[in-house]
Amino acid sequence: MKKASSFYGTAGALVLLMAATTPALGADLVIAMPNWPSGQAAANILKVAVAKEFGLEAEVQERGTLNAFVGLEDGSVDINPEVWRPNLDDLIRRYVDEKGAVVLTGRGTAAWQGLCATEAAAKLGIKDIADLSDTTKTAALDTDGDGRGEVWIGAPTWVSTGIERVRANSYGYAENVSLVEAEEDVAMAAVDAAVATDRPMVFYCYTPHHVFELHEITRLTEPAYDAAKWKIAPADDPLWVSKSSAPVAWGPAEFYIAYSTGFAQKRPAVAKFLEQVDFSTEEVTQMTYALQVERKAPLAYAEEWVKNHEARVDGWASQ
Amino acid sequence: MTKDMDPMFPGAIARGRAATRAALTVMLAAMVALGPLAAYAAGTQIYDSKTKKWVDYDSRKARQYYARNNQAPEAFRRQVVTFRTAERPGTIIIDGNQHFLYLVQPGNQAIRYGIGVGREGFGWAGIVRVGRTAEWPTWTPPAEMVARDPNAAKWAAGMPGGPENPLGARALYLYEGDQDTIYRIHGTAEPWTIGLDVSSGCIRMINDDIIDLHSRIEVGAKVIVLMQGAALYKGV
Mean pLDDT of chain A: 90
Give A25's pLDDT tier (boundaries 50, 70, 90): low
Of A220, A176, A206, residue with least CA distance to A36 = A206
**Tens digits of residue pLDDT in A215-230:** 999 999 999 999 999 9
The pLDDT score that the predictor gives to residue B192 is: 82
Average pLDDT of the segment spanning A150-163: 88
The pLDDT score that the predictor gives to residue B62 is: 81
CA–CA distance, A189 with A182 (Å, rounded to integer): 11
Mean pLDDT of chain B: 74
Higher pLDDT, A1 or A272: A272
Would the CB atoms of A180 and B226 count as touching at under 8 Å?
Answer: no
Residue ranges of domains in chain B: 12-230
Q: Domains in chain A, please, with CATH?
A: 2-108+254-318 (3.40.190.10), 113-243 (3.40.190.100)
Expressed in angstroms, the distance from the first to the final Cα of chain A is 37
The pLDDT score that the predictor gives to residue B47 is: 55
Find the residue in B nearest to A216 (Cα).
Answer: B84
CA distances from residue A236 to A63, A241, A250, A293, A300 in whole angstroms, order as listed: 27, 11, 21, 37, 43
**Tens digits of residue pLDDT in B46-100:** 555 566 665 677 778 888 888 888 888 888 999 999 999 999 999 999 998 888 9
What is the b/e burial string over B139-169, where b = at least 16 CB atoms within 10 angstroms of the residue's CB? bbbeeebbeeeeebeebeeebebeeebbbbb
Size of interface A-B (CB pairs under 8 A): 129
Kindly report the number of other CB atoms within 10 A of residue B102's CB atom. 25
Class of domain B12-230: mainly beta
Interface of A with B in 150-179 (CB under 8 A): 150, 152, 156, 178-179
Of A226, A227, A179, residue with least CA distance to A202 = A179
Using the 8-state DSSP alphabet, how is residue B23 labeled? Answer: P
Does residue B229 sit at the A interface (CB-CB below 8 Å)?
A: yes
CA–CA distance, B187 with B170 (Å, rounded to integer): 6
Higher pLDDT, A183 or A279: A279
Of B3, B224, B10, B1, residue with least CA distance to B116 = B10
Interface of A with B in 121-150 (CB under 8 A): 123-124, 139-140, 142-148, 150
**Tens digits of residue pLDDT in A42-82:** 999 999 999 999 999 999 999 988 899 999 999 999 999 99
Q: What pairs with residue B48 in β-bridges?
A: B53
CA distances from residue A260 to A79, A183, A257, B50, B226 in whole angstroms, order as listed: 7, 35, 10, 72, 44
- Residues of B with active-site annotation: 186, 202
Helix (H, G, I), strand (E, B) or coil at B156: coil
Does residue A120 sit at the B interface (CB-CB below 8 Å)?
A: yes
Higher pLDDT, A190 or B163: A190
ipTM of predicted complex: 0.78
The pLDDT score that the predictor gives to residue B227 is: 74
